[in-house]
Amino acid sequence: MTIQDKGFTRVSYLSQWIRQNLPDSTTGFYVTDIDFLLMNFRLKKAMMVETKSFNAPMKKWQQSCYSKIDQWISEGIKADPEHWTWFGTHLITFEQTNFSDGKVFLDGEITDEKSLKDWFWFVLNQ
């Protein structure tokens, strides 16, 4: 098990602060948070995961941003002397908010809690 999240107070405070103090998208300035960066340091494997609730799609600008980050990491990791493997960027979408109140999708394909856990384990620990 990973270290437990202590809540969203710090994140929501900073999110509000950013929205109130930094330029808006009309200036070309975009901000997105990265939900999860999963890494296995022993096996040198990594991936990025975005989550959405209430079947919300990724906005086009966010898709573009994640695509750029994925491209940059994919290219940069090739030069890493430690020989890491990048497993890309993945989207987990909840029909509602979690596994128990609706369907869940991994990269657009329906899945369930056990299958998702097994998939993460297989990709990052094999």
In a domain, 86, yes or no: yes
Domains held by the chain: number: 1
In a domain, 50, yes or no: yes
Q: Residue 7 pLDDT more than 90?
A: no
Residue-level pLDDT at 2? 41
In a domain, 67, yes or no: yes
In a domain, 17, yes or no: no
CB within 8 Å of 39: residues ≥ 6 apart: 45, 46, 124
> What global pTM score does this model have?
0.84
Q: Calculate mean pLDDT across residues 119-125.
A: 91
Q: What is the band of 102 on the pLDDT scale with cuts at 50, 70, 90? A: very high
- Give per-residue pLDDT as tens, 35-52: 999 999 999 999 999 999
In a domain, 73, yes or no: yes
In a domain, 9, yes or no: no
For 9-72, list the strands marked E by DSSP: 36-40, 45-52
Give the structural domain span for 44.
33-125
